[in-house]
Chains A and B, each alone.
Chain A
Amino acid sequence: MSPLALAFVIAALALIGWITGRARAARFRRGTTRRFSSLPQHHGWFVAMGTLLPALLFLTVWHLTSPALVTEAVLATPGAANLPPPGLDRAAILAEARNLAAGHAFGAFHALSEQLAPVYAAAQARYDWIATAVALLLAFVGGALSFLRVRPGFSARTHVERVIMGALLGASLIAIVTTIGIIVSLLFESARFFRVVPLTDFLLGTHWSPQVIDPRDPGASLGAVPLFWGTFFIGAVIAMAVAIPFGLMSAIYLTQYARPATRRWVKPMLEILAGVPTVVYGYFAALTVAPAVRDLGVALGVSWASSESALAAGAVMGVMIIPFVSSMADDSLSAVPAAMRDGSLAMGATSSETIRQVLLPAALPGVVGGVLLAVSRAVGETMIVVMAASGVATLTLNPFASATTVTKQIVDLLTGEAAFDSAKTLAAFALGLTLFVITLLLNIVALIVVRRYREAYE
């Protein structure tokens, strides 16, 4: 039976369970004035869960274990005696046979896998039948047992609600599991990387050229300082030089000067600017902004201005961040108590003097927190730099020169043709770990700053 059909049959059994359980409960409630702890539908849900949960649990466990069982069964057949000893070849032949049996592949590279494919298909079919039978049996027995428990004194609601609470708790644990997954996978792959390349070489080395890695001294060409500098230069200097003035001034204009009608139009527009996908910004940066920046550089006398300059990527990234800075500044400006503003205006200060000398200093911690969050975003931004920045790692202060970033290098390292556990791909995970730690620190500091500031005015 196909998985979809099995799912339908089990769901149908659960539906039958729901209907019968509900009907049974409704019958014993009829004609009495007794008060029950559970509604008929609670009994229905109880039977449905009794049908569904054991079968689903079994299928999950089965799905994780059965591929190994099927392979064991195939290896036990006489045809498997010709297989090469355990290793890459053997795994490749088995994988090919598995694909042939499942119908994913049509031609075979190894002759042996073509022989093994029918064996595989037979074993798979046998185990599938076992799984189907057991799952259906479990669903039926579970449903029947729960149906028998539906009695007047039985509190089905308690049981159903306990399952619901379990599901709620389980759902919120997924966030922790994801975080742990990120940390463990990054740490695990990075540890393998640092076994080959010393940590000091990676963090302090100033030469980055992963295209040619000397196997005797891989650390010599994997020094990440130029990447850190490029990331900082593009994300924290150039992008912020664009985003902070524009974002802050738009927030000031919108909160202090603009009429409500203007605000109603401009705020959604800024939201649209924030909603444009980064790949669009990247395309725009590469096709329109970068050539213009190079021409500008040439006009200014920088004859070697790069067409993949740090300025082009950084400026477009800054535009992307404007709405973010603007909304953070908006929040912190409106958090300043009105009394401070009114006091300043009452003393005869003009609006701009009030803003510059009263509101901004009071809102500064919030604005700084917002800017730190914006930097963390810019540092983690990928597509703009992938499409508009250069792949060559240089230590430069010239915005017309090419610069590269951590995210750009991660993409370059992982989209090549290297094997999964070469020094190159592992270096991507080490860079990912660095990026994760840096953005985490920025976020934590920003949140602390923002929280302290909020408390000051509450």
Chain B
Amino acid sequence: MTARRRTEERTPLLLGVLASLGIALVAIPLVGLLIRVPWSDLGSLLSSDVVLDALRISLISSVAAAALSTLLGVPLAWLLARRRFRGRRVVRAAVTLPMVLPPVVGGAALLFALGRRGVVGEPLDDLTGVVLPFSLAGVIVANTFVAMPFLVLTVEGALSNSDRGVEAAAASLGASSLRIFWSVTLPAIAPSLRAGIVLAWARALGEFGATVTFAGNLQGRTQTLPLAVFVSLENDRDAALAMSLVMVAVSFAVLLGLRDRWWNSR
């Protein structure tokens, strides 16, 4: 008994060293960033028009993208987890694709589909006058495109592993399937759903490539924090660093708050 415990507690040297290198790989760039941040000017840098506009656009677009991801992603996750249909694996792979795809490719694909000359975009413009590129709506679409897979995967994992006995009991008592979904299934996976929403939101907040390709870059309309950081990095390093600090702080706080929920739920 004691002997077994001791073996479990000992970390093999090789694993320990490699794990430390792994930590260093992530931590060193962060330290590099923190060292360069102009701490004394932080207040004035963060209250400039460019930063405030970018903060506003980022906040609106990331929250909207998380909401849209939830609205569309939860039903999609339910379908993937609970229904056996032809092409299910293809659908799952397609839905997950934006996680792997370079965001620039995603942005170009969005432009070809939803741009002013796009397959869907052109008739949309003709019929309704709605133009997505170069608009805040376009930013939200681009953000949702890259963020939704995070929600779908998280929720699908939870739905596949959840106990279906209660659902069966509710059905035997005569509850409608939509009612079961709303009052039994969703509450049962609430922690994973929360984690999925936060992950999708965090991914949307950091989105760059798809946004700049599809929605362009204009201060006060489509320029999110990552875009403002990219443009300022070339002209105004200090402002770029200050905005980077905001993004690191917010993202880190969110991930810390999530703790291990994402992984435990699977």
A binds B: no
Residues on B lying within 8 angstroms of A by beta carbon are none
